Structure 1
Amino acid sequence: MSEKKAPSVLQGFKAFLMRGNVVDLAVAVVIGAAFTGIVNSVVKGVISPVVGALGTQSLDNYSSCLKAPCTGTGANATGVRILWGSVLGSTLNFLITAAVVYFLMVLPMSRFLARQEARRKAKESTDEVVEVTELQVLKEIRDALVAQHNSGRIGS
C-alpha cells in the first residue's frame, strides 16, 4: 500500500493563506481602519460641535465624591471619587458613533441592496412568466394538433 505524506507546515500555511476567507478578513480590516477615520472625523467635526453648542464639550470633569475629602486630581487625589462624567461621555460618544455609522452607512447600503434584490426578483418573475407563457402556447399547439389528427380519423 502507498502511504500518503502529511502536508508540510509550509504547505499547510500556504493553504491557509490562500483560502478566501483569510483574504476577505484582511480586506475587511484594512477597509475598517480607513472607515474608522471617516466616522471619527464626522463625529469630531460635525456631531461633537453641535452637542457642545447645546451643552458642554467635555463631561470628563463631572464626578461625585464617595468618601470625603475629595481634593486634587491624578496621583495627588484624596478620597474616593466616582468619575461618572467620563462614563457618560464615553457612552454618548459610542451612541453618536453608532448613529453615524447606522444612518450614514448601514441604512443607505441596506436600502440600495434591497432595491437591487427587488429588481433581480422582478426580472426573474418576468422570465418565469415568459417561460410559462411559452409552455402554455406549446401545449395549446399540441392539443390543436391532437384534435385535428383525431378529427381527421373520425371523418375517414
Structure 2
Amino acid sequence: MLKGFKEFILRGNVIELAVAVVIGAAFTAVVNSIVANLINPLIAALFRADSLDNALVISIPTLDGQTADVRIGAVLGSILTFAIVAAVVYFVFVLPMNHLKERAAAKRQAGTPDADEPENELTVLSEIRDLLAERRGAESVSSGTHSE
C-alpha cells in the first residue's frame, strides 16, 4: 500500500502539478498586490473614493427599511484583476511557449534536430533495442565459432 502511494507521489506529473499550484499561489499574491496597491488607488482616485471597492456604490432600499449596497466598483476590481492575470499569463507563459514550439516544429521540418529537446521514450527504447541486438550478435559469433 505504501509502495503504491510512493509511486503515485513520485510521478512526474504530480510533482509538476504541486509546483504549479505553489507558483500559482505566489503569482496570485503578486497580482493581487499590484491590483490592490497600484491599480485600485489609481481608479479610485478617478471616482474620488478611498478604494475601488467603495467606488460606484449604489444603495438600494430593502423591504425592511434598511439599505443594501451594490458595489459595482468591487465587481470591476475583480474583472480587472482577472484581465491582468490573463494578460500576464498569456504574455509571460503562453506566447513564449508558442514561439518555442513553432521554432522547434520549423527545425523538425528542416530536418535539424533540436539540441535542447530531450529524446523521447521511443527513441531511447529503439537505441536500447539496437544495442542489445548488437551485443547478442557479438556474443553468438564469439561463442558459436569456437565449438569443435
TM-score bracket, shorter-length normalisation: 0.5 to 0.7
Higher relative contact order by CA 8 Å / sep ≥ 6: 1 or 2? 1
Work out the number of aligned pairs and report it. 109
Question: Given the alignment, which residue of 47, 59, 68 partners 2:52?
Answer: 59
Report the CA distance between 1:109 and its aligned residue. 2.4
Inter-CA distance 30–115: structure 2 relative to 1 (3 Å threshold): same
Matches of 1:43 and 1:117, distance apart in 2: 38
Report the CA distance between 1:39 and its aligned residue. 4.6
Report the CA distance between 1:53 and its aligned residue. 9.5
Q: Which one is further off, 81-90 or 10-19?
A: 10-19
Match of 1:15 in 2: 7
Provide runs of 4+ in structure 1 moved above 3 Å: 33-46, 49-58
Segments of 5+ residues of structure 2 without an aligned counterpart are 113-148
Matches of 1:101 and 1:37, distance apart in 2: 14
Preserved contact between residue 31 and residue 81 of structure 2 (Cα < 8 Å): no
Preserved contact between residue 43 and residue 97 of structure 1 (Cα < 8 Å): no
Matches of 2:96 and 2:41, distance apart in 1: 23
Cα RMSD (Å): 3.5
Instruction: Give TM-score, length-normalised by structure 1.
Output: 0.51
Q: Select the structure of larger CA radius of gyration.
A: 1
Matched position secondary structure for 1:94: helix
Instruction: Give TM-score, length-normalised by structure 2.
Output: 0.54
Report the CA distance between 1:95 and its aligned residue. 1.1
Indicate the percent of aligned positions where both proteins have the same amino acid: 49
Matches of 1:106 and 1:42, distance apart in 2: 21
